[in-house]
Structure 1
């Protein structure tokens, strides 16, 4: 983690959140407590800040300074609002191609997906505030800088984003093995948002219930799953092929 992209110390992080800095994720020592820590928790919950509990060794690795049991990462980018992004795309009379990442948690996978998304003309990436991979140095590096060229939106809940997109005339397609539909039978040559799930669980079942279509990649090996960034690339390039 780049040192200029982190803040440490409870009071400093509270101030950064209140000042509306792009605080991407807060790492908290597992057994941390006290009045100031309670205030931090209240501030994070009020502002929907992504946080996780970690062993003190992780914090010591992140910074050699007196971290007081908390280290926060500051995103190197500004996030977009979903409403503004969709409105601007529809005004341009484009056929939007959007990508929704349902709680993808690995920063390197995230970076690799951003890189492919930029190469395939994706108009924006939608992630959930809680439980998603941070936008940090690893993300920037594995995206080869593409993270600076593609709008990223943070939403409170993926389901709300799906409903909003559907209401805006954008079809939602989930990548999942829980279907008989083949990716090559889906029409991507229209306004569409492709949903990729987390590395271990896939797309959330509650999201699968509300999307328009499900699609899977044909698999011929004995290992019945692909790395999520590879699967995402296959979906995006099928969309490109159809739109050529």
Structure 2
């Protein structure tokens, strides 16, 4: 971990928006999901929710995603209405991109409040059960013959407006808006992804990091892990895994 790399991680993490989320309702093309994921990272979105049908693939194209899969948390949901309702119960406003008589210009909505941007599949749009739970429907004004942008392009335009509003409101300024626990855990996962996966697999607390992003007293931590293994912990906790 170089000082420059650690400084970049801290800078990006400081700007993450815990209360700005995106939910894709039925979007299944890998290239679209990958582009949306990349846009989420660029706008400081920390969580991308994806509603999928049984057997539906939600693969990510690494080239299109630009490595963003590591920096944005993905949540899979089998049912759009349940996912939307759960977010509303947490205090989020739900804004759905949809061509309808109720839709307003996307630039007139307030994105500085906790909100979820819902994007539907290009052919079918946002599903009716999800639309029934939305607080507002929005559209992007078009000047040509086509009625809408590609879903990934539309997501980018809307998130750019959300970013503009939030930046003006000072929501990207330090200190971080994440809770101390979420900040510490995410920082560790970004700095040490392999070790984080090992800790998750074996139900271990993340070790503390020093001011340069390195594990604080790694020898002592490894010794504690081995001691735990000796107390009849799962077989996975072997020296080969460390």
- Regarding TM over 0.5, the answer is yes
TM-score range, shorter chain: 0.5 to 0.7
Task: Supply the distance in 1 between the matched residues of 2:46 and 2:55 (Cα, whole angstroms).
Answer: 19
The equivalent position to 1:166 in structure 2, one of 52, 68, 88, is 88
Which of 113, 117, 130 pairs up with 2:40?
A: 117
CA contact (8 A) 1:175 1:197 kept: yes
Deviations 1:95-154 (A, max 9, x none): 511000001011011101101111001120111242686343x52221011012100001
Shift of 1:180: 3.7
1:154 maps onto 2:60 in alignment: no
| Distance in 2 (alpha carbons) for counterparts of 1:181 and 1:199 | 19
**Residue 227 of structure 1 is aligned with which of 150, 155, 172?**
150
| Local SS of the residue matching 2:48 | strand
Determine the C-alpha separation between the residues in 1 that align with 2:93 and 2:18: 11
Counterpart in the other structure of 1:209: 132
Provide the C-alpha distance between the structure 1 equivalents of 2:156 and 2:138, rounded to a whole number of angstroms.
Answer: 14
Matches within 5 A, 1:108-147: 108-130=31-53, 134-136=57-59, 139-147=61-69
**SS where residue 206 of structure 1 aligns?**
helix
The alpha carbon displacement at 1:211 in A equals 1.0
RMSD: 1.9
- Aligned-partner Cα distance in 2 for 1:132–1:122: 27
- In the TM superposition, 1:1-244 aligns within 5 A as 96-130=19-53, 134-136=57-59, 139-178=61-100, 179-244=102-167
How far the C-alpha of 1:157 sits from its partner, in A, is 0.8
What TM-score do you get using the length of structure 1 for normalisation? Answer: 0.58
Distance 1:232 1:153 in 2: 17
Q: Distance in 2 between matches of 1:174 and 1:132?
A: 25
Structure 1: stretches of 5+ with no match in the other structure:
1-93
Contact 1:102/1:195 (<8 A) preserved: yes
- Partners in 1 of 2:105 and 2:52 — Cα distance? 31
TM-score norm. by structure 2 comes to 0.59
